[in-house]
Amino acid sequence: MAKYYGMVKCIDDRMGELLAQLRELEIFDNTVVVLTSDHGDLRGEHNRQNKGVPYEASAKIPFLLQYPAKIKNPKVVNEALTCIDFLPTVLKIMEVKTAGEEEGRDASALFLSDKTPTGWKDVGFMRGTGEKTWLAAVTDRYKLVVSPFADPWLFDLEEDADEMKNFFGSAPHRETIRDLSRELLAYGQKFGDPVMTSNAVQTDLKWGAEGEGAYSPPERKARPKPNPLRRKLEEGKKRQKRKKKNTASS
């Protein structure tokens, strides 16, 4: 834990030095500065460490953007954004033309004005690592998570900020379940996500999008057990990598 927070302080200190240098060089106002991350860390929440699950502490990341030349006043963007939205958004703010083939959304209007982009849909998608793990549709308030190995979960961050309750099947949340199930079905069809090849996931989402009555969970395959030999090989590779790094720095 101490090492983790030491790293956080190190990053904070280096960012301060970077911003100070930009001011000294008199290019602060015309420089785009972005602070983000690829994942969070649970740090004991839900009795877990590390990452890889859809809880906020693991999956929610910062995206702090500073560009005084164009973004005059501080603001908070509450729409759901994901990593693939960062590229088209930042390049548009920089007035750099993209190839037009990126999958992400241009959210620059959310930073440069008080208007949402035309046709904007406040839904993002995220997934765990590996082919058949978990997949989620997220908004600022809700997360619908599906997996071949577990019943669906609907998180409601207003009703349950600690993410302890599952609202999938809850009558007051029926329209939210319906909307996010349809979003996941459309996403799976467009991008061919491997999670969507699971019969159990398809059954879950079909009930979510169209079903009536109470939810009845389908049969599921057991989660594959970790391969101990593969784990030993991966640990060996990591040791060799650390050894080479230490040799190079000495």
pLDDT digits 0-9 by tens, 94-142: 999 988 888 889 999 999 987 888 888 999 999 988 767 899 999 999 9
Fold type of domain 123-250: Arylsulfatase, C-terminal domain (3.30.1120)
Beta-carbon contacts of 209 under 8 Å, excluding residues fewer than 6 positions away, are: 178, 181, 182, 185
Question: In the chain, what are the domain boundaries?
Answer: 123-250
What's this model's pTM, rounded to 2 decimal places?
A: 0.82
Q: pLDDT digit string (tens) for 6-49?
A: 988 999 999 999 999 999 999 999 999 999 988 888 788 888 88
Q: What is the mean pLDDT of the chain?
A: 89
The whole-number pLDDT of residue 179 equals 97
- pLDDT tens digits along 210-238: 998 899 989 887 776 666 666 667 777 87
